[in-house]
Amino acid sequence: MTVTIYHNPRCSKSRQTLALIEDQGIAPKVVDYLKAPPTVAELKNVLKKLGLRARDIVRKSEARYASSGKERDVGDDELLALMVENPILIERPIVVSGDKAAIGRPPEAVLDIL
C-alpha cells in the first residue's frame, strides 16, 4: 500500500510527521504541495477519505485567507479553488494511506491509518 504525505518541508509538524512515518519503516510518497499543488479533484478525494469538508482543512490564520474574503459562508467548490490557487492555505501535513487519511496535528494522529 502506498502512503502519501502532502508535505511542507518548512513546517515542523510536517517534518515530524514525515519522520514518524519513516520510523515505522515506511517510505512514503512525498508531495511538496506548495510546488505541486493538488487538483480540485485530488482535494475532494482527500476530503472524502478524511471525512471532512473544505473549510475544515483551510489554514484560516494565513493572510491569504483573510484577504480572500472567503471567511464568510461559501461552498466547498469555492474554497477548493482558492486552496488550489493558494496551496499555502491547505492544512498540513495530510497523510493518505489506501482509503484513509489523517491530518498530522499532532503527528501521532497518522499512526491509526498506517
Active site residues: 11
Q: How far apart are CA 114 and CA 95, in angstroms?
A: 9
For the stretch 78-106, what's the b/e string if a residue is b when 16 or more beta carbons lie within 10 angstroms of its beta carbon? ebbbbbbebbebbbbbbbbbeeebbbbbe
For residue 21, the SS3 value is helix
